[in-house]
Structure 1
Amino acid sequence: MRGLVQIFASLRHTWNHLMRSATIISFQKTNSTCPFLETLDFSECFLFNYNGNADMELPVLQRLYLNKIRKYPDLAGVLNIFKAPRLQRLELSSNGIVNIENKLFTHFSSLTFLDLSNNKLVSVSNLQYLSNIRQLSLHDNSIKIVPQEILIQSGHPNMSILDISNNPFQCDCNVEAFRNWILTDNMVKMVMLADSKYTCFSPDSEKDLSITQVDLDCELHLWKYISIGIACAVVLLISVILIVRYWWHIKYSFFLVFNRRRNQQHHLIVNAENIDDDENGPPRYDAYVPYHVESADDWVHGELLPNIEEGEEPFRLFLRCRDMRIGRIILDEISLHMQRSRKVLVILTPRFFEDNWCLKELEMAHYRVLEENRNVMILIILGQIPNNKKTLLFRQLLCKVQYLKWPGDAYGQYLFWRRLREELKRPVPLDRRFNV
């Protein structure tokens, strides 16, 4: 084994040194300077045991050969060993290199020749920093697409020779820029271009065809993609319009699917307990009454119940806070008793629209109107509803269902109760206006 310390100690006054096929070179902690060394060849050496602490000052080194390294360590780590500001030629062929780290060669500012051939490179997009490069060899790799950075003259203003032959090029629209560059650029010589070494590997329809002979029709593809994009945008716009137009129908459909599935499980429990909870049974109540407890409870108990439930012709009302059974799922109870009520009497106050359960009851009442095509809703408005509280559903309902406003005078209240009783007694025929 020859250590790097002994090797470089013997090279202090050497101009050229070849170590091709050396037995073993061990990169240990080293700090050496070779002020006259211009050429260094480690090709086919067995490099190992690199710990990242080696540091070799090579102020006039111009040529470095690292081809066919038998045991290739970390590429970035090995290159960082060599402090060679005047390095012009670097060969790294046949090392199985898969990728190149970003700015890997930036400390070799004078580099004019770089050989990365016979490796396994898939992408070479990190070579745009080689501003002084004149000759670049990338043949026999796994490059499918040549990046724009290689082709842009401003990135490599001095490049005169490029060899990127024998790569499995993917001949789709991504290769169009490379093909056009080959046909139009007269500044860079393409090695082995005339020997059919630049052929397509994929797709199968273009396989083994020269890149310069491929008919890509990328403008047609571009228009196809634009057409597809426009079509998708139109479909999306129409979908949004339909969703906005039929939002309540869509939401109601989802609710029905979800509610029926849950009711199936609920009926199994009900049947086991021998409880009559059939939604399709005869109506048990004349009206289901959704209202906001804090803002309308005094009016409900002080005005509505005495005039409707305790009058000469009493009606039976369902109040969620009063009549709902304890221990049941609230949404199931609302659905059950709303279905078993002939009508839904909604008491609207400004704070009604701030309560999630009140809004849910209003939505479910609207679902029932849509499902049955019957105007089963009666709206009672207490006070003035601010515009910022008027939801889209509320505005729609005002245009479709009957509503009563609570008056402030005695005669108006008399007419109010007479009208409400008439509406509660009136049968509910089919109404095609709600089948929209």
Structure 2
Amino acid sequence: MHLRNFSISWNRLFEVQKGTFHKASDLENLDISNNKVLTIDVISNISQDLRKSSIKTLNFEKLQCTYGVSQILKINHIAYLKSTTLLELNLASNRINSLETGALAFLPKSLLVLNLADNVLSFGLYIIEFASLQSLEILNVSFQSTFHQNLMSGDVFEKCNDTRRNPNLEVELHEIGKHYNMTSYEDKLFPKMDNFLKGNFNYTVYLPPNLRKFYYHDNLYKMSIPKFSLGSQTKLTHVFAQQNIIYEVIGPVTGLESIKYIDFSGNFCGFISKLFLKSFSKLEYLNLSNNALGHVFENDKNGEILSAQRQLLTLDLSINRIYRFSEKVFLKNKYPLKDIEHILDRLEKTCSSYTVTTVVMISLIISAVTVTVSRIVYRYRWKLRYMYFVAKNKYKDGDNYQQLKTHSSYRFDAFISYADEDRRFVIKLVEKVEKEYNIKLCIHHRDFIPGTGIMDNITNAIHCSRRTVCVMTTHFLKSYWCMYELNMARMEAIYSRNGNNVLFLIVLDKNILKRIPLHLMDLVDSKSYMEYPGTEKDVALLAFISKLGETLKSKDNGI
């Protein structure tokens, strides 16, 4: 069989029996991913079949169901791969919690790429074994313990096959033991382990010697990076450690002098030691954005945190709540940053405080709006007041309010508005006119309803009267309530009497016309007033009373 590439992914496979790929000696690329019922136990059958093949790429991604129990990758799963020339192995999304001691050592020395992403890996001694992967260049352990939210549909209801066990595992383990001395291997890998367990932690952790890129991002591990040493990793250049929960970095971490690229963004980090970046002297790209490092850089008065990064080309410190930098951060450390002048100009504009300007502009806008609204309210103040009381009375009285607008339903022939200082004159005039012309007039000291608000009394008196008569004197113009009655009567004429003139003035002093406010001059210009003759015995007085009585008694709106 000369099959080189074979994919059976997304097929809902339940079993791949031993011997399925026994004759596929030319097979180079095999993909059985996303068959969630197979479980990782099937890897043993496949690896045993491919031990003498030309296999280069194996994709075992998601052979476990999403919400199943955690798994342990055992030696017998992958031991037969040791004799292959495998280049890339994908074990992502299999809920692998740990690796059996010695398992990584059985991976082939030719392996370049190992993907363990989207599992639930916990801390364990297997971490030390990564150093045995001599040719490994790319290691991916991202998305650990990811919460696969699916809104209670799909995978959450799937039937898992976690409890299945391969009956041949024990036999296979016995056969593997014939070829490899497991006891001697463990003794060689973990010498003097008793001292380690007693608390003597002066150990150097070694990574694969040819590792170039390390992916450790989007993990849900809450952790701190302490001081520790890595074996000299002369080829590791890229570290992707963004979107984790690394809340503090103490360091220093030695042995990573070759690193050129670090993405440490979005880690909720609130502290970075001044010693941490000392060993990263060849760093060209550093992303520390979206953390909480504001106070760290503000307190770095001498620019010590970034003092070793003399080859830095790109630095991202955005979204860190940094309010100020010490001048020495950039003056002392001559970074060859790209477009530094443009960056500084942009930072100056972005970071400038516009608080005062904002407060002033908001104050001006509020003031302008307030003045405009105030002017509008002041201009239409009488209309607003009138409409308020009309609505109030209409709501209170219902249909009775509508009846007040008809001529036959007015309670009074006229409402007399006057200043209290002119009461004596008004009372005599009212008594005389009422008696001689058989009309009913409303005056506040006699006809207002006790216990009712003065504004309600005024509005009701104007509504219930066919006309409103204002006795104009100096005292009238000085009285707030008299002017209130006058303006409310004008609003009544405009908005409730179809524009008919129901308001006129009695002028006791001719000079008072010169003092009438400008907005009332239309009453004077339209001759809507009568002049009092000034004597009680003159014929002119009799004519005045006669005309007043006839005007108030008539139902038309003339004077």
- TM-score when normalising by structure 1: 0.47
- TM-score when normalising by structure 2: 0.38
